[in-house]
Amino acid sequence: MRLDHVDDPILLQRLVEAVLSIGSDLSPPAVLQRIIDSAVMLVDARYGALGVLDGAGHGLSEFITAGLDPENRARIGALPEGHGILGLLILEPEPLRLADLTTHPDRFGFPPHHPQMRSFLGVPITIRDQVYGNLYLTEKQGAEEFSAADEALAVALAGAAAIAIDNARLHARVRDLALAEDRERIAADLHDTVIQRLFATGLALEGSLRLAPPALVGRIEQAIAELDETIRQIRSTIFALQAPRRPGPSLRAEILALATEAGQGLGFEPHIRLEGPLDHGVRDDVARHLVATLREALSNVVRHAGAERVEVTVALARGGGLTATVVDDGAGIGQVPRPGGRGLANMAHRAEELGGSLSVEAGPGGRGTALTWSVPA
């Protein structure tokens, strides 16, 4: 942690405060957001992002931002995957300081609605000799470019960030191990006791139908349907309680996080319904395409639909088919111009690559849009 270029006691004090801030939380998502927020403040950047490398170390799996409000972030659309100058730091994990990134030969260009950026400072975050991700800082405030002192501060913060991230991940693993036994016990109780009792109640109600007066038949049938829905929800809870097959965040958690992210742009969170053993029965490559598709679909709703209600259903059938639907009550497909948009084509390509399909049609009652993405899982 070299600070040869920093001789200002105020800057050193800010560094200490930033380090203390990022080490004060044990939730991995919260730690990542604190890191980028602290980095932006520390070097007086207008914008910042923390890109987390994917499992192969060739692209970005997460991109946490600072300086962009939820509406502007939603307008930008899909998050970067690690091309251009962002990709340069992935290939060459060394600090990079540029006066004008738009003149760099590896520039990739900005998507529509992206704020213009010139001055740039990038610093890798390394955990146990492995690059975890990168800090990206742009638009130095009060100067034309970032200084050597800014770079030294960012490098020092990245070193502290690596410790905070590693600490948060270790605590999460310990917590998961401590909860695993209780989760399995609760799942078994739900399956062996609660569901069986609900089944018995449903069968008893079905048996009473032939004896019930006509006035009660409809109410009994409604009660049976509600019991079936309750059983379906409990089964979904059981799958969620069981330990996920893949390392890292569960697929269910990623889908719920997308809903929270979309809710910032919509003004309300989409209603989410998850069915089947998503964390156990969906391959990693399929899960990756699913998450990207849902992100693109929800981004389209945020930018174009003007919806008041959004419903997302992801279901894994017993035969292995995976279906995701996004239904909104907004303007409807074709009612809003999408100049240069590639979102639907990208979602269709992802489905076709997995042997599946994408359909987009009017929503229930002809209102809004219903998008269905289906693939073998």
What pLDDT is stored for residue 146 in this prediction?
93
Q: What is the mean pLDDT of residues 114-126?
A: 88
What pLDDT is stored for residue 339 in this prediction?
42
Tens-digit pLDDT profile for residues 354-364: 999 999 998 88
Distances, alpha carbon 375 to alpha carbons 63, 254, 285, 296, in Å: 26, 19, 12, 17
Specify the DSSP element, H or E, that contains 161. Answer: helix 148-189
Separation between Cα atoms, residue 305 and residue 262, nearest integer Å: 13
What pLDDT is stored for residue 284 in this prediction?
87
What pLDDT is stored for residue 29 in this prediction?
80
The alpha-helical segments, DSSP class H, found in 251-342 are 251-266, 278-281, 284-300
Phi, psi of 240 (to 5 degrees): -70, -30
E strands present in 7-95 = 45-53, 60-66
Q: Which residue is it, tokens 């992935």? A: 90
Q: Average pLDDT, whole number, for the chain?
A: 80
Separation between Cα atoms, residue 15 and residue 149, nearest integer Å: 12
Instruction: Using the predicted structure, report yes or no on whether residue 37 has a pLDDT greater than 70.
Output: yes
E strands present in 130-170 = 130-140
Tens-digit pLDDT profile for residues 136-189: 999 999 999 999 888 988 888 888 888 878 777 776 766 665 566 666 667 666
Q: Which residue is it, tokens 């070193």? A: 159
Instruction: Using the predicted structure, report yes or no on whether residue 19 has a pLDDT greater than 50.
Output: yes
List the beta bridge partners of residue 135: 50, 123
> How many alpha carbons fall within 13 Å on the CB side of residue 372?
11
Instruction: Using the predicted structure, report yes or no on whether residue 1 has a pLDDT greater than 50.
Output: no
Tens-digit pLDDT profile for residues 246-290: 555 678 888 888 888 888 888 888 888 888 888 778 888 899 999
What pLDDT is stored for residue 336 in this prediction?
45
Least confident of 58-67, 118-127, 227-236: 227-236
Look up residue 205 and give its two tokens.
Answer: 């109600």
Pairing of strands 321-328, 45-53: unpaired
Band (pLDDT 50/70/90 cuts) for residue 340 is: very low
Band (pLDDT 50/70/90 cuts) for residue 334 is: low
pTM for this entry = 0.47
CA quadruple 59, 64, 67, 73: dihedral sign: positive
Cβ 370 vs Cβ 320: under 8 Å:
no
CA quadruple 12, 15, 17, 23: dihedral sign: negative
What pLDDT is stored for residue 70 in this prediction?
79
Could you tell me which of 4, 11, 37 has the C-alpha nearest to residue 164? 37
Q: What is the mean pLDDT of residues 102-109?
A: 77
**Helix/strand/coil for 331:** coil
